[in-house]
Amino acid sequence: MLSRCPSAIMWHMPYIKEDSMPDTAAGRRRSLLQETRCQTCSLSSLCLPLALELEDMDQFDAIIRRRAPLKKGESLFRQGSPFTSVYAVRSGSLKQVTTGGSGDDQLTNFYLPSELVGLDGIDEETYPGSVVALETTTVCEIPFDRLDALSAKLPELRTQLYRSMSKEMRDDRRMMRLLSRKTADQRLATFFTSLSDRFRRRGYSAYSFRLSMPRADIGNYLGLAVETVSRILGRFQQQGLVAVSGREVHILDLDALIEVAEEEGCR
């Protein structure tokens, strides 16, 4: 999803300690690219270290485990597995799928860079849904026991953690409202305006982006059949709201799209 951003190259690289790299030009370049620390990460202003001082950031950095990139379709963790860590998305995107008692899958979240994955496992100490990479994705693993201990020492970190949880609760409320009150057109318009806003906050274009998820996933997330998603996309294009080519989305009239998303009352 974010592969056009130069800094994404760095996010896709696994973390390797500097002193383990050969002293060659190529090695130094790789070392530079692969050293992914919170201080140098372009997402730190959106992620947990947001309010930390430099020395505190080092302490935070020390508890983070940089994992190898997940391939498309690979699970970060599965529903019901023991909760051990939360994860910050560095690049790519993931989806959360919750399987109900009758075996039906419900897509319950999409995660973009800087967003925290796994906070909903704290309470019952198991992950309530499986989280799967939608494309090549890198994450920072933050063991929760160490995060908990560190946040007791660093109030700014604790505050930021609370803010992340609060944001997740707020997003859930928005999603409940969307699923309970919005028409199909409003749902899709809300989805696009929300994505646009999330990309804008990360410094990317609010008007042009690539969907990493197929239409079936979008439909599942929004409670719509895939045919309905396609139908409404066609209508939005006719109305000059968006232009869609494959998974490339260009928002042509963001204000009008927001207006559709926020329409009230019956049609």
Cα–Cα distance for residue pair 57/117, rounded to 1 Å: 20
Closest CA to 47 of 122, 112, 128, 92: 112
Q: How far is the CB of 264 from other proteins (least distance, A)?
A: 9
Is 266 a residue that touches other proteins (CB under 8 A)? yes
Q: Select 175 or 225, whichever has its Cβ closest to other proteins.
A: 225
Angle at 229 between CA 227 and CA 231, to 5 degrees: 65
Is 237 a residue that touches other proteins (CB under 8 A)? no
Is 267 a residue that touches other proteins (CB under 8 A)? yes
- Other C-beta atoms closer than 10 Å to the C-beta of 102 total 5
Helix, strand, coil distribution of the chain in percent, nearest 5: 45, 20, 35
Question: Which residues, including other chains, have CB under 8 Å from residue 191's CB and lie 6 or more apart?
Answer: 218, 221, 222
What is the per-residue binding string for other proteins in 26-65, x denoting contact by CB under 8 A?
----------------------------------------
Cα–Cα distance for residue pair 8/258, rounded to 1 Å: 29
Q: How far is the CB of 233 from other proteins (least distance, A)?
A: 11
Q: How many residues does the chain have?
A: 267
Which of the ranges 3-11, 128-136, 218-226, 246-254 carries the binding residues for other proteins, by CB under 8 A?
218-226
β-bridge partners, 111: 94
Is 223 a residue that touches other proteins (CB under 8 A)? yes
Q: Which of 172, 183, 216, 250 contacts other proteins by CB under 8 A?
A: 183
Q: How far is the CB of 5 from other proteins (least distance, A)?
A: 34
Is 106 a residue that touches other proteins (CB under 8 A)? no
Which of the ranges 20-28, 156-164, 175-183, 246-254 carries the binding residues for other proteins, by CB under 8 A?
175-183
Q: Select 32 or 176, whichever has its Cβ closest to other proteins.
A: 176
Is 232 a residue that touches other proteins (CB under 8 A)? yes
Q: Edge-to-edge strand order for the sheet containing 94-99?
A: 75-77, 130-133, 94-99, 105-111
The count of chain residues that interact with other proteins, using the rule CB under 8 A, is 17
Is 180 a residue that touches other proteins (CB under 8 A)? yes
Cα–Cα distance for residue pair 3/197, rounded to 1 Å: 18
Is 120 a residue that touches other proteins (CB under 8 A)? no
Q: Which of 94, 213, 224, 260 contacts other proteins by CB under 8 A?
A: 224
Q: How far is the CB of 167 from other proteins (least distance, A)?
A: 26
- Asked whether the beta carbons of 209 and 197 are under 8 A apart, the reply is no
Is 189 a residue that touches other proteins (CB under 8 A)? no
Closest CA to 73 of 58, 92, 60, 86: 92
- Asked whether the beta carbons of 85 and 63 are under 8 A apart, the reply is no
Q: How far is the CB of 227 from other proteins (least distance, A)?
A: 4
Q: How far is the CB of 180 from other proteins (least distance, A)?
A: 6
Q: Point out which residues bind other proteins (CB under 8 A).
A: 180-185, 223-225, 227-228, 231-232, 235, 265-267
